[in-house]
A and B are shown apart, each in its own frame.
Chain A
């Protein structure tokens, strides 16, 4: 904002402006994503860095090119395309072909973001839609998860993701889940660094903790209730409570849930403004995620939950409006009727 160009500013409200600029917020998100990137490069090998570089470069490049063609002012400086590129890369498996990743960038930036009006007008999280389109188009490449090369003694090994393992009744050890030494996409495996990044964003007030809290909490409770319900009898359900809770905790770290909860669900444009709205949004995400994971054949719980709830955001915003101080319930409706 060029706020020192005019000494006397006459403008519409709001008059209180934040000390954060878009560039600062997006820079903060980049910093929060860095530990996961480093961990991922360590786990899956240096190709991770190449893939990430390609998505970031193509995202920024497509944004610049589109704005050049459409004669719009270039928004590269706000770093939002960099964040989109990073998150898109985090949603791809390590062996993903580079040109397909570039196609994902094209869809994220041009189709989802710029065609709908650029930053602030995208109908859903750009990186998320990029991921879903890639998933639908190049399913084979998107699900070829290789086992981390630095562990296990062999160079690469096809490996089941934690959720696939859970489906067959096995659980990966907690230490593997935390360190991310299991199959999956680039940025979803290492729970420890994702948590670190998320806490950094919350501590610097770049994101509000409400959505991740209710998303993760809701998923935990929902999964816990489901597994207790499947125990058979009430006594069996409570006898195995500790085990069920532990499994539900592992469930939170599987798949893209942490990545989605901290970095994708909290996208400013596609999440509700108010506290009430954020709670509804987080719980909705939790319910859809668990429902898809438990009762659907697709492995896209977090992606589709985010997409669906992104589309509901305008309605959540309209229904969860804050009441201005001093307004009494129902009175405005009555006076309007009388006036008419």
Chain B
């Protein structure tokens, strides 16, 4: 520890601190622009110049390491003069038209100019004008004249984004911040540069000129879009969400947000929002009132149950719903006598349901995961599944973590990969078995009950095993792809075995904001709330494979959210009644549902999400429900009462939460990835044909982001193509860009084919959750490609 003095205040700081860190630790503010605690030090703005005793010149506080006995003056004549001098330089070429700048009111330059600027400029020469740049649909770089060249944006893309997408070209006064020629900024976490930019150079394209910061109120919330549980500040004006910003939480999202978290709010007020209850009569939709609609629902459910029995009813819920909603929907169903409940619509392998001991989760905290010395990602398209977790893992790799991957594509992770196995999905069980076998070889005297004798250990499997065995701490993580994989339970079983032998933690990076909450709430066919025993029902797959007569859909569009969309839609169409509680009236719902109950998205209701690390995060609605929409918990409460069920007399969300979580919020005792022993089949299915790798595109993951116009304008949201390895294209005799007919069973779609040589041969990467591919079948089932017409 070093003893220093800042403005006469004595303090001790750790060796290696900078003057600005020391000052901030005692609440002494030093003006700065380029400095940012999460970025490397550039020391270029010079705003932070301070006087250090014995130094002849003012020194930049952000870059000056503290030395023992150092005496710093942040406000002396020398310091003030230097700071004012820098401010003058910053302003000479900066437009002095804050009233027409979008950043006005939340501009660091404007704020500091009040304290350090002069009332009139001594600069009488011509001012610089810089032409605007195109950074894509999310970031506006129209006013680059305002840029003060702090390079925060540049450093962000390079250091946090993992890939430099913004640079400073040219020299001196002619320096310009710009994306690479002809390119836009496509990082999945690009929007953070808007927060980082201290001036109005980079602003939010959707938000631009729509409101002034002082007109907005700030409300806390939690992102539903992935399992991370990023903390949000939602800014609202007159009942409308105007903007979403990060709420700093070092344990989760630090000070960042993914673009999905940041820009999906634009989908909240989409034209497709369902504002009033609707009933379909004779194929025609009619708006109606709540009473009528609910009576219709009650009649429908009672009718089906009388005609076909309770087992003819299935409940499909979305893990993007709140804990309370999911708890109530399962409670209602079970009280009514329906046991067919599930939220795992995109899963295909339920063999582990019996073996499962608790609620599946990450297996550690996020911080524990990113501080593991070796990580094995199994079936995870990380950057698109949990963009911020991918960013954190990149930082971990910089600090020495070895990242290992098992996937069907050697995707660009923008970081160093220690070892990667790239194989088609059907070969993964054997591949992970290879890792297990290699671990056995490395750990003397260790044994397993699984029969790995016939498995070949590849070089990469051996390297992964060595990485896991040798690391001080290790983690195995199954991503979304692994969770949707037809051998999910087998992969999990193997992860458990490898974990047992190596001491590695294992778990899932859960898909949705409340995937863990859905399990806790008992929105499962074989487990009730907090794992209570229930009468077993059908899982999501079974409910669709053997169609029910009635479906209750909570917050889901099955054509986008299911493992096999073609099968799901067919089941819906064949049903007598489809009751949908939804915030949107999507085309699919309009086609197959017969009653639509408008419910509130997360911004319009109180509720709770439980993140992948088991963190219980409750939030309040930030605006009133749109139109006649109501929070789903209220709808379910009324429905419970109207169905004559007891126990639905709730007054508040807190009451439901208390009941669901047994009044506690410590759910850790319920979290467990342990599976009781299960056989593993290592044989690799014969692979004569191609297998579909059906992934959920980042901006089609949930109902809200699907409707966010700016996200839908990104390159990422472009219509799916069938990606194959070049060799596959050659075998098929097709050329890149050609139209192909993709066939799965008796369904088919026509779309362009594209080459991606990072893919394993034998795989067709063809996205789901998109209108152009809903006619297709299972995400990881056989697929055929034929020359299109």
B is bound to A: no
Enumerate chain B interface residues (CB-CB to A < 8 A).
Answer: none
